[in-house]
Amino acid sequence: MTTPSERAMTWAALLGKWTEFAQSALALPTQDEGGRLREAVPAIIGLQAITHALSELDDLDTDERALGLDRAEMLIRQHAAEVNRIWKGHEIPEAVREMVDDALLALRIQTQSGWEWIVAGESLVAAHPAQLITLLVGNGFAGDLYLPTPGVPIFENAPAAFVQGVDDTDELFELIEVAVGDHLGEAEGPMRMPIARQVYRQFDFSKGGPVRDIVRAMDADLTPGQPLLVPVILAGQPQSVTLPIPGADRQKPLPVVFEDDPEQADSDSAS
């Protein structure tokens, strides 16, 4: 966490760069691509400022943080719409497009980041989380918690749990870390992750059943397969969790494929 003086120095340095950029843009032509870039200067500076401000959002109180997120989302939409208007009918320069993407990613990290545990051994079979739910909710946990479907094995290196809505500076964090770790047993974590990841068990019934587990962002487009991580607490509210299915724990190990690993995905496709 940066100190107030360090933050002031960073903002001062950025302000200097933005001032220099705005002044240099005055020399651009007023027509064609130069004119479009010149017109886009306020949106470009705005996007960079929001991206930087979002990185400091954890320093705010809860109420101020929520207000900051709402304000950031509104401004990103406003600046992105301005960029699209300016380059309507023309290709948006890659550097400008990256600024929009960076701001959206910074917002996504602030709204979806959390803590993840992964399977450390060959497999992990979790019990029903009723006691864990009672413990965390009873101690005031108001976030989200995803755990493995009770009795269904998840295999090595796959995500085993994800918790959102608590930071390592919160008083509850140590309790959550210990309680979730004890519930999972063979798992490593928690590790800070920018987004929640889901594990989907995919089936090929011509081959007799499940063939692989694929790991991808939880908010990605619909993915074929059975999601193995289930919500057990959402916004501090206990969720209904099914009891273990007899015999489900006898599933043999499956390959775990990560969507962001092209080499592994290609290898799996070839097989």
pLDDT at 67: 87
Which run of H or of E encompasses 11?
helix 4-25
Q: What is the pLDDT of residue 133?
A: 97
Angle, alpha carbons 219-54-111 (nearest 5°) = 25
Predicted local confidence at residue 45, as pLDDT: 93
| pLDDT of res. 7 | 52
Calculate mean pLDDT across residues 240-257: 91
pLDDT value of residue 56: 83
What radius of gyration do the chain's Cα atoms show?
Answer: 23
Q: Which of 11-20, 134-143, 199-208, 221-230 has maximum average pLDDT? A: 134-143
Q: What's the whole-number mean pLDDT along residues 178-189?
A: 93
pTM of the model: 0.68
Mean pLDDT of 115-134: 96
Q: Which residues contact 139 (CB under 8 A, 6 or more apart)?
A: 172, 175
Residue 73 has pLDDT above 50, yes or no: yes
Rounded to whole angstroms, how far apart are CA atoms 148 and 14? Answer: 44
Q: Kindly state the average pLDDT of the residues 19-32.
A: 84
Average confidence (pLDDT) over 176-196:
92
Burial 17-50 (b: 16+ CB within 10 A, else e): ebeeeeeebeebeeeeeeebbbbbbebbbbbbbb
Give dist(CA 62, CA 48) in Å, integer. Answer: 23
**Which residues, in sequence order, are CB contacts of 166 under 8 Å at separation 6+?**
114, 115, 141, 143, 172, 173, 176
Quickly tell me which residue has 């290898």 as its tokens: 267
Question: 20-29, 31-40, 152-161: lowest mean pLDDT where?
Answer: 20-29
